Amino acid sequence: MNFESTFKPENKVEKFKVFVDWPHSDNDIAFQGKTGNIKLEVVATQVDPEPEVVDFGSAQMTLYKDSTSSQNTIDFVNITNFKLKNKKTGKEYAVGTSPSNRKYTFEMKDIPVGEYTIHFDMPSGMSVKEIQLGGAYKEINYDATSNPLVITKDKKEYAKIVLKSELTLKEIKPLNDLKVPSNITIDDFKAALPKQAIIVDSTNKEHQVDINWDIRPFNFENYKKPGTTTLYSEFFKLPVNVSNSEPSQRLEVKLKVVFE
User: Residue 226 domain-assigned?
Assistant: yes
Residues 207, 247, single domain; the answer is yes
Compute the distance between CA of residue 92 and CA of residue 83 in angstroms, rounded to an integer.
6
User: Residue 214 domain-assigned?
Assistant: yes
- Residue (of 180, 140, 145, 181) closest to 159 by Cα position: 140
- Is residue 202 scored above 90 in pLDDT? yes
Domain boundary among 165, 200, 229: 165
Residues 117, 153, single domain; the answer is yes
Residues 75, 154, single domain; the answer is yes
Domain boundary among 165, 181, 200: 165
Task: Dump pLDDT digits (tens) for 78-118.
Answer: 999 999 999 999 999 999 999 999 999 999 999 999 999 99
User: Residue 121 domain-assigned?
Assistant: yes
Domain that holds residue 236: 168-259
Indicate the pTM of the whole model.
0.74
User: Residue 40 domain-assigned?
Assistant: no
Kindly tell me the sign of the dihedral angle through the C-alpha atoms of 111, 137, 243, 142: negative
Compute the distance between CA of residue 67 and CA of residue 161 in angstroms, rounded to an integer.
9
**Number of domains into which the chain is organized:** 2
Residues 107, 133, single domain; the answer is yes
Residues 154, 173, single domain; the answer is no
Residues 118, 69, single domain; the answer is yes
Span 43-61, average pLDDT: 80
Residues 131, 202, single domain; the answer is no
Name 62's bridge partners: 105, 160
Domain boundary among 165, 186, 203: 165
Span 42-57, average pLDDT: 75
Contact 209, 238 (CB under 8 A): yes
Task: Dump pLDDT digits (tens) for 215-230.
Answer: 999 999 999 999 999 9
Task: Dump pLDDT digits (tens) for 63-86.
Answer: 999 999 999 999 999 999 999 999
- Is residue 9 scored above 80 in pLDDT? no
Q: How confident is the model at residue 1 (pLDDT cuts 50, 70, 90)?
A: very low
CATH number at residue 86: 2.60.40
Average pLDDT, the chain: 89
